[in-house]
Chain A
Amino acid sequence: MPAISADGLYKIFGRRPHRGVEALQAGRTREELREDGLTAAVIDASFSVEPGEIFVVMGLSGSGKSTLIRMVNGLWPATAGELVIGDQSISSMNAAELREVRRRRISMVFQHFALLPHRTVGENAAYGLEVSGVGRSEREARAAEALEMVGLKGWGGYRPSDLSGGMQQRVGLARALAAGTDIMLMDEAFSALDPLIRRDMQDQLVDLQQRLEKTILFITHDLNEAMRIGDRIAMMRDGRIVQVGTSEQILNEPANDYVARFIQDVDRSRVLTASAIMEPPPATLGSGQGPRSAHKLMRETQNPWLVVLRRDRTPHAVIWEEDVAAAVKDGRDELPIPAEPELPLVDAHTPVADLFAISARHRSPLVVTDEDGRFAGVIPRVTLLTAAGALQPDPPPAPAPPPLPAFDAAEDDAR
């Protein structure tokens, strides 16, 4: 069961907003509605967030993302459509039931922190508990625990104004954590922070999320941020959700021109991982094989190297043509694998940006492994460089990588 599911949500501002829903469903545009004095902030939004997921809603200002997040905890009632938290429908609740859901299930972190300046940091962190009537000693203990989680141990007695922006937002985060809800809404939570601190907070959020398994709905206008922290991303434009997918899906298969234009500015080398650019090698070899079969394979594939795999398909070594040729000439029965083979292993989840340094240190192609350490693919240096070229935002159309063997042959000639 999804933690949050939205089905056909509409939010329209103006007099008698329901006529706007009907008009939109009849095919009229947002601009036509504006002439009638209606503002359609969110149009037919449907999505679902799984428990333990970081779901990012990404859009520019005016795209309706802030309205959307406020409908999730009922701060603004939806004009039409249904919103379900767990098994409870928000849309049909009265004020008291809504308050109960906000106390027990959903907390929120705000763009400009929204701390109470007349209370101490500790009292701010305990706010959600205080509102729901938790006793003083328990809420102080839980607030202190939450403050420690966000790295603010010992700051409980200070005023928010004594803290820097980044620290204030940590208090905002602690307030949401202390409430003990399983869902957290974050409205542009890191947008007001400077870039270095923002990066820190993003890492910390992902870390906290992995430890506490919160469900997080995160709003941002920064696509890099969305791609860094989001398990899935919903792209919003003019009140509509235009695409929902993982960051790689959005990068590789943008749903329309708008998304495509948007992702031009993304630093893809940070988003794309080794698995996205790796390729299957021309051939692999079991470690039990001899030099003769290795030599044959190399001749057939016109490739000067071969990846040798163990029986469990974990990579063992990369062997080279000249060594294999020498072994054949000497009539040996074993593959020419040195005691400490040169084997640049990388995990499939390594960002492309981190591959360059490893690749520069090794002659052989990078060998990509999956989570269990089994062989997944290779990234020859030329593939990496081609990918780097294609990752540049301008110009978008990248030439297809040249076929490998030919290039490697040329490299051999040069040697």
Chain B
Amino acid sequence: MSPDEFFLRIPLGEGIAWLIRWFKENLSLLFDAFSWLMRALVDGLTDTLLLLPALVMVLLFALLSLVFRSWQFAIATAVLFLFALCIDVWEPMMQTMAQVLVATVCAIVIAVPVGILAATNRTVSVLVRPILDFMQTMPAFVYLIPAIIFFSVGTVPGLFSTIIFALPPGVRMTELGIRQVDSETVEAGESFGATPGQILTGIQLPLAIPTIMAGVNQVIMLSLSMAVISGMVGADGLGKLVVQGITTMNLPLGIEAGVGVVLLAVFLDRLTASLGNPGSYPTSLIALLKKSLAEKTAQRAAAEA
């Protein structure tokens, strides 16, 4: 007796495929709107990044690094992007960066509120956790199929699957960050008569920022890792070059595109890490500015006293 005869075959795949087609037919307006919005955002951002001459952009990126991290990192950034220019991956790199940033922003816009809900409500937390597990462990390629059904080929299905794949750490880290705020500090807010909203915005979120930013950092890294997979459904950028390299067995092209992804990853990772933990970078422009401001206030207070 073979298993085929013995067990009932549940048509899970067919069922979900049917559901997805049903979505496609009945919610097409929603998908069109999403598609239009994503394309507008990504195209707009890509155009902006490519508007100025590449060398000016390199300087701007270096300046960002100086403002948020340190002059050492600013030099590294300049070298890194100049190198990208020299291996001629600048344009696809900017396209990928635009997609990653848009996907990250969308993921965070969804993840942070869900994380806050999960942190304040046990039921939500219990419900959300298995969904997140599912989203993270499902092979990322699988998301491409419904994405193509919904949005056909191009940048948008890539973005859609990127957002789904990159979302979970944002939710988890937001929930964790809020939950690990010292309970006595939250009690202090309550004991002075703060409303739940005042406690959230005045105490929990500010104190959870480092953890939330660590989540954002992970979201960005996951988005980048999806960039290549998006290339398979026709999204522009470094992913497209990698896929071309694979399909034509063009090793030099593949390597150059791959190095471009690595360079972008290094820049985005270090920059967002310093955003979440400004205290660790005392030589950043922001820290120096804050310090001199604080000294001035202290001097003024001393003069008054």
Contact = CB atoms under 8 A, between A and B. Distances in A.
Partners in one complex: yes
A109 to B, nearest CB: 9
B246 interface: no
Interface string B259-301: 0000000000000000000000000000000000010011001
B203 interface: yes
Interface in B169-219: 182, 184-185, 187-195, 198, 202-203, 206-207
A73 B191 contact: yes
Contact of A131 (B198, B207, B298): B198
Given A73-B191, A102-B191, A154-B301, A110 B207 contact: no
A155 B297 CA distance: 10
Contacts, number: 75
- Most A CB contacts (10 A, CB to CB) among B190, B192, B297, B304 go to B192
Q: Is the interface of B mostly helix, strand, loop or mixed?
A: helix
A157 B297 contact: yes
B191 A103 contact: no
Interface in B146-190: 182, 184-185, 187-190
A107 B193 CA distance: 9
B302 interface: yes
B184 A157 contact: no
B193 A114 contact: no
Given A75-B187, A111-B184, A157-B297, A127 B207 contact: no
B305 interface: yes
A112 B297 contact: no
A103 B192 contact: yes
Nearest to B294: A157
A333 interface: no
B188 A108 contact: yes
A329 interface: no
B193 A99 contact: yes
A117 B207 contact: yes
A295 B76 CA distance: 103
A100 interface: yes
Contacts of B182: 112, 114
A360 to B, nearest CB: 45
B193 A185 contact: no
A185 B184 contact: no
A52 B270 CA distance: 57
A128 B302 CA distance: 26
A154 B305 contact: yes
Contacts of B185: 114-116
B184 A114 contact: yes
A155 B294 CA distance: 12
A75 B302 contact: no
A182 to B, nearest CB: 15
A132 interface: yes
B184 A103 contact: no
A158 interface: yes
A301 to B, nearest CB: 61
A158 B301 CA distance: 10
Given A154-B302, A157-B294, A157-B301, A102 B187 contact: no
A107 B191 contact: yes
A102 B193 contact: yes
Contacts of B194: 99, 131
Contacts of B207: 116-118
Interface in A111-168: 111-112, 114-118, 127-128, 131-132, 153-158
A131 B189 contact: yes
A102 B184 contact: no
Contacts of B298: 157-158
Nearest to B192: A128
B187 A110 contact: yes
Interface of A is mostly: loop
B301 A75 contact: no
Contacts of B202: 116, 131
Interface in A80-121: 99-103, 106-108, 110-112, 114-118
Contact of B193 (A70, A117, A132): A132
Contacts of B301: 154-157
B94 to A, nearest CB: 35
A33 to B, nearest CB: 25
A236 interface: no
Interface centre among A70, A108, A157 (most CB of B within 10 A): A157
A162 to B, nearest CB: 9
Nearest to A157: B297
B302 to A, nearest CB: 6
A211 B294 CA distance: 34
B195 A112 contact: no
B206 A118 contact: yes
B203 A102 contact: no
Contact of B191 (A75, A112, A116, A155): A75
Contacts of B193: 99-103, 128, 131-132
A110 B184 contact: yes
A179 interface: yes
Nearest to B302: A154
Contacts of B189: 127, 131
A179 B193 CA distance: 10
B195 A99 contact: yes
A376 to B, nearest CB: 44
A112 B188 CA distance: 11
Interface of A: 70, 73, 75, 99-103, 106-108, 110-112, 114-118, 127-128, 131-132, 153-158, 175, 179, 185
Given A128-B192, A157-B294, A185-B191, 11 more contacts: A70-B187, A73-B191, A99-B194, A102-B192, A106-B191, A110-B184, A112-B182, A116-B203, A131-B193, A154-B305, A175-B192
Interface of B: 182, 184-185, 187-195, 198, 202-203, 206-207, 294, 297-298, 301-302, 304-305
17 contacts: A99-B194, A100-B193, A101-B193, A110-B188, A112-B184, A114-B184, A116-B202, A127-B189, A127-B192, A131-B195, A132-B193, A153-B305, A154-B302, A155-B301, A157-B297, A157-B301, A185-B191
